[in-house]
């Protein structure tokens, strides 16, 4: 018996290392599989994201470069162009951009479900809906001066802003075509076409700016007139590509079907527009509230510089928003709920890492960033005082837009619009007003209250929603939605 016990014990000892080796091998295989999935998803994400970042940086840089040229003409010119860029153009930009985001839901899910022909119809419907909306928004440009005076802006800034606003009406109508074309091509992963057109427009804009401002001495009016050239060049290039053979599967010509189902399309577009507008307009309110403080020009100049820098960096999270919306919509349209969730997690993680890097850069370069836009020592010092708040804003905005992209890809626009309304306008704005005037903290108090009271709470709510979501159920609903739209247009 003793010999048998020793033999059994020896066998057991031999098995233990084998079991450990087997477990280690399984863990390595699992780890390797996870790494492979992360790498594959990262490649698919950046195939959309890389060109999207370049496109958004290029198109936003058109406005930033314009503002930089104006800033060296004088403080009044900088304040006026800042008002036009951040309030008037920004207001309409965000609304039309948001409405075009309905195509991310519909075209993204249609592409995933291989309903290619419907994408061209969706594009034409978007042009129709956005054109009607753009016409309704025209009074904002025509009556910009009295509107700005009513909002408490100084008379000299309001008058010059009103003159500039009339000159950018063509830009307003370029948005009607550019944003839907952008989404239409992006959902087909034709992102390099968009990036190339944006790069060409940016280079042309720089040369035209130099010609108009320093060559022809056209001043602030000439500076803003150059924006029209750049944006319409983008539209011409994308329209030519999409309609002249670049998209044979998804563009089959103009169709009468575009005029059917407009009401349902308009409702989804409106939900998308409201959702993103409530986010984008939120920070525009900062400019309006700052216009009622003491030392208005300095306050507006310093804040608009910070908002412009944040807006420039925000193009990266917004590119993540678009890429995440496409990836989530594609996977849901194809019935892959788990892959949609995985795509969301990879996107949020990578955007957060980039946000941390830029926040640290702002902290280290806090006394240098103002020189980009102004030569005034007073303005540069005011920008320096706001740099910590700028860093916090960049950090929060590295997560929140990506979660909005998840909402767009999933078709949750209406639901998220209510969340944005509550967090931003019933919590953030009152808290900013309280800190700015009641506690006499000025622009710092307004901004801090709106960041932590509005954006912070909204981000936490969105994180809770996406983590608790039943993604398989969302995939089933997306497949049903695609079939419904196809049947309603006579495509079985």
Kindly state whether residue 121 falls inside one of the protein's structural domains. Answer: yes
Q: Give me the mean pLDDT over the 438-450 stretch.
A: 82
Is the Cβ–Cβ distance between 94 and 277 less than 8 Å? yes
The segment with the largest mean pLDDT, out of 8-12, 13-17, 263-267, 440-444, is 263-267
Is the Cβ–Cβ distance between 228 and 83 less than 8 Å? no
Q: Give me the mean pLDDT over the 310-321 stretch.
A: 83
Domain count, the chain: 1
Kindly state whether residue 33 falls inside one of the protein's structural domains. Answer: no
The segment with the largest mean pLDDT, out of 2-16, 279-293, 426-440, 453-467, is 453-467
Q: What pLDDT band is residue 354 in, cutting at 50, 70 and 90?
A: very high
Q: What pLDDT does 22 receive?
A: 47
Kindly state whether residue 234 falls inside one of the protein's structural domains. Answer: yes
Q: Give me the mean pLDDT over the 413-441 stretch.
A: 84
Q: What pLDDT does 26 receive?
A: 52
Kindly state whether residue 138 falls inside one of the protein's structural domains. Answer: yes
The residues, any chain, with a CB within 8 Å of residue 377's CB and separated by 6 or more, are none
Q: Provide the CA 143 distance to its chain's centre, in angstroms.
A: 28
Kindly state whether residue 10 falls inside one of the protein's structural domains. Answer: no
Kindly state whether residue 11 falls inside one of the protein's structural domains. Answer: no
User: What are the helix and strand counts (H, E) for the chain?
Assistant: 22, 0
How high is the mean pLDDT of the chain? 81
Kindly state whether residue 32 falls inside one of the protein's structural domains. Answer: no
pLDDT digits (tens, 9 = 90+) for 187-214: 888 888 999 999 999 999 888 888 887 7
Distance CA 259, CA 221 (A): 39
Q: Give me the mean pLDDT over the 162-173 stretch.
A: 89
Kindly state whether residue 41 falls inside one of the protein's structural domains. Answer: no
Indicate whether 488 pLDDT > 50. Answer: yes
Asked which of 47-51, 89-93, 135-139 is least confident by mean pLDDT, the reply is 89-93
**Which tokens is 314 given?**
């925000």
In 279-421, where do the E strands start and end? none
pLDDT digits (tens, 9 = 90+) for 75-87: 777 778 777 877 7
279: containing domain: 49-488
- Which residue did the predictor score with more confidence, 320 or 298? 320
């Amino acid at each position: 018996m003793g010999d048998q016990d020793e033999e059994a014990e020896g066998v057991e000892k031999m098995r233990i290392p084998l079991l450990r080796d087997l477990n280690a091998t399984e863990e390595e295989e699992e780890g390797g599989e996870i790494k492979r999935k992360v790498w594959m998803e990262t490649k698919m994400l950046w195939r959309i994201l890389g060109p999207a970042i370049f496109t958004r940086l290029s198109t936003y840089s058109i406005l930033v470069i314009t503002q930089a040229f104006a800033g060296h003409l004088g403080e009044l010119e900088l304040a006026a162009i800042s008002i036009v860029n951040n309030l008037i153009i920004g207001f309409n930009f965000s609304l039309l951009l948001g409405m075009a985001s309905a195509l991310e839901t519909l075209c993204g899910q249609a592409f995933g479900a291989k309903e290619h022909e419907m994408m061209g119809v969706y594009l034409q419907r978007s042009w129709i809906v956005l054109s009607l909306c753009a016409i309704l928004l025209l009074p904002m440009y025509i009556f910009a001066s009295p509107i700005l005076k009513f909002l408490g802006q100084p008379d000299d800034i309001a008058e010059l802003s009103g003159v500039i606003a009339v000159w950018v009406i063509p830009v307003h109508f370029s948005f009607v075509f550019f944003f839907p074309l952008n989404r239409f091509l992006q959902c087909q992963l034709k992102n390099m076409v968009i990036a190339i057109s944006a790069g060409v427009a940016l280079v042309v804009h720089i040369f035209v700016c130099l010609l108009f401002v320093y060559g022809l001495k056209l001043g602030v009016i000439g500076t803003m007139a150059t924006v029209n050239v750049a944006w319409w060049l983008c539209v011409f290039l994308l329209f030519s590509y999409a309609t002249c053979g670049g998209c044979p599967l998804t563009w089959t010509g103009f169709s009468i079907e575009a005029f059917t189902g407009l009401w349902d399309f308009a409702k989804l577009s409106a939900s998308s527009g409201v959702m993103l507008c409530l986010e984008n307009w939120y920070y525009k309110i900062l400019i309006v509230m700052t216009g009622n403080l003491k030392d208005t020009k300095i306050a507006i100049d310093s804040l608009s510089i910070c908002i412009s820098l944040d807006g420039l960096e925000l193009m990266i999270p917004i590119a993540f928003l678009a890429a995440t919306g496409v990836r989530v919509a594609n996977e849901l349209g194809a019935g892959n709920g788990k892959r949609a969730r995985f795509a969301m997690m990879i996107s949020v993680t990578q955007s957060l890492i980039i946000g941390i890097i830029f926040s640290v850069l702002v902290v280290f370069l806090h006394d240098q960033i103002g020189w980009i836009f102004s030569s005034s020592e007073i303005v540069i010092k005011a920008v320096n005082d706001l740099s910590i708040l700028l860093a916090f804003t960049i950090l929060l905005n590295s997560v929140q837009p990506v979660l909005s992209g998840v909402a767009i890809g999933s078709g949750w626009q209406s639901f998220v619009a209510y969340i944005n309304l509550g967090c931003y306008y019933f919590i953030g704005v009152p808290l900013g007003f309280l800190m700015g005037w009641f506690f006499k903290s000025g622009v710092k108090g307004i901004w801090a209250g709106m960041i932590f009271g509005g954006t912070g709470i909204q981000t936490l709510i969105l994180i809770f929603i996406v983590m608790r979501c039943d993604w398989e159920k969302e995939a089933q609903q997306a497949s049903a939605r695609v079939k419904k739209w196809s049947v309603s247009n006579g495509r079985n």
